[in-house]
Each structure stands twice: as C-alpha cells, then as structure tokens.
Amino acid sequence: MVMRHTDAGHVTVTETARTERAAGSATRHDDLTVAEVIDGVRELGVELGREDREALTRTLERIRSQAHGT
C-alpha cells in the first residue's frame, strides 16, 4: 500500500485499487490491473528498478490468485 497527498487529494494505491479523496469531492475508487498498480506506485514517487518491479508483479499476481482460490 502506498499513500501520498497530491494535487488530486489523498491518493492510496493498494494491491487491487486506487482511491482518491479530495476535500469537497466524492471519493473516487478505481479497480486496477497489476500493471496499473505498478504504474500507480511509481506515479506516487516510489522508485522501482527492474528487479523490484518484477518481484512486485509476482507478489501481486500471487496475492490475487490466492484471493480467487486459484
């Protein structure tokens, strides 16, 4: 989970979704693919090298498959 305050408000990226909360606005919640999670984490300022991206991708895929019982 990565959280950061941005111009869009408070942004949270989890293993499955991105949530944006801004004062006076409705909360926005978007489901994300694994690739979108990686992009979202990087957009929030987390630097990921190739090995870290690959490890995070494998971990996200494993978490998702366990959540779906596959």
User: Which pLDDT tens digit goes with each residue over 32-56?
Assistant: 999 999 999 999 999 999 999 999 9
pTM of the complete model beyond 0.75: yes
Which pLDDT does position 70 carry in this prediction? 61
Structural domains in the chain (count): 1
Distance from C-alpha of 21 to C-alpha of 70, rounded to nearest angstrom:
33
φ, ψ of residue 16 in degrees (nearest 5): -130, -10
Residue among 65, 68, 58, 60 nearest 13 (CA): 60
Q: Which domain holds residue 11?
A: 2-67
Token pair for 6: 């941005």
pLDDT digits (tens, 9 = 90+) for 17-36: 999 999 999 999 999 999 99
